[in-house]
Amino acid sequence: MKEISRNRRITRVAIPLACATLIGACASYDHRETAYSTSGAANNTPTALFDRLDTNRDGFLSRGEVEPLGLVSAAAPVETAAAAFDRLDTNRDGFLSPGEAGNIFAPIPGGSFSAFDANRDGFLSRAEAMPHLQWLETRQTRVGPSFDAFDTNRDGFLSRAEAEPLLAATRISGDRYVVGPIAGMSFDRLDVDRDGFLSRNEAAPVMSAGMFERYDTNRDGFLSRSEAESMFGAAVGATR
């Protein structure tokens, strides 16, 4: 009997304590975690998206936290012409066969394996292939916005203000993020290396390769501020 009575006293104490603990946990639960349990336009606001991405709740977005948005890296290496030749030359004989070259030259206007095979031996030597691989190298772009284009103070993080243009163009579709055209892009925001010119990669968020060629009037592979000025004036989703 004493043992039963003792168990009842423990139960009377344990149950209220468990309930109090559960209530306290619910009260301290971050309301932002529940903001995404249902679909709807409210989940696609910049504020809601920022809170969802800010997993450590420090009020900033790191490169890792915005990784789900699929931002490109402005510092990502571009494959050089020499590296491309070595990659394609799978049998390491110093020549490219038609099978090894595949459709690598297809993006070159009027380009083809046979057109570049100057001595008509059925292979491309390094000397024959390099001018055309170099052309392709200069036109490689990582299409899409970069983290650096929004990190205006270069501290390695995005504040709410810095992330706002990016998140305003972002929506959740199913279980993934979709980044659309970004308004408010300026020359200075795109010029992530601060050299006073826009490379093809830097300009990629607001223009296609064809548009870049159109505005690169001196054909040096970069857009100066004066060359880009007419592009921004044409309202391609950017502002000066």
- Give 90-103 pLDDT, tens digit per residue: 999 999 999 999 98
pLDDT for 35 equals: 34
**Of 85, 110, 112, 115, which Cα lies nearest the Cα of 100?**
85
Token pair of 87, please? 């990659």
- Residue 134 covered by a domain: yes
- Residue 216 covered by a domain: yes
pLDDT for 142 equals: 53
pLDDT for 240 equals: 34
- Residue 155 covered by a domain: no
- Residue 2 covered by a domain: no
pLDDT for 80 equals: 83
What number of other Cβ atoms are within 10 A of residue 17's Cβ? 9
pLDDT for 73 equals: 58
Own/partner long-range contacts of 103-106 (Cβ < 8 Å, ≥24 apart): 104/133, 104/136, 105/132, 105/136
Token pair of 9, please? 């006293």
pLDDT for 133 equals: 92
pLDDT for 194 equals: 85
**Of 189, 143, 141, which Cα lies nearest the Cα of 165?**
189
Measured CA to CA, the distance from residue 62 to residue 164 in angstroms comes to 14
Measured CA to CA, the distance from residue 129 to residue 127 in angstroms comes to 6
- Residue 32 covered by a domain: no
The predicted model scores a pTM of 0.48
Last residue of a domain, one of 119, 138, 157: 138
- Domain with residue 92: its CATH number is 1.10.238.10
Parallel/antiparallel/unpaired status of strands 124-125 and 95-96:
antiparallel
- Residue 66 covered by a domain: no
- Residue 227 covered by a domain: yes
**Of 97, 105, 104, which Cα lies nearest the Cα of 125?**
97
Q: Which domain holds residue 203?
A: 187-233
Domain count, the chain: 2
Measured CA to CA, the distance from residue 174 to residue 65 in angstroms comes to 19
- Residue 108 covered by a domain: yes
Q: Which residues of the chain have pLDDT under 70?
A: 1-42, 72-78, 140-145, 184, 205, 208-209, 231-240
Token pair of 171, please? 């929506």
| β-bridge partners, 124 | 96
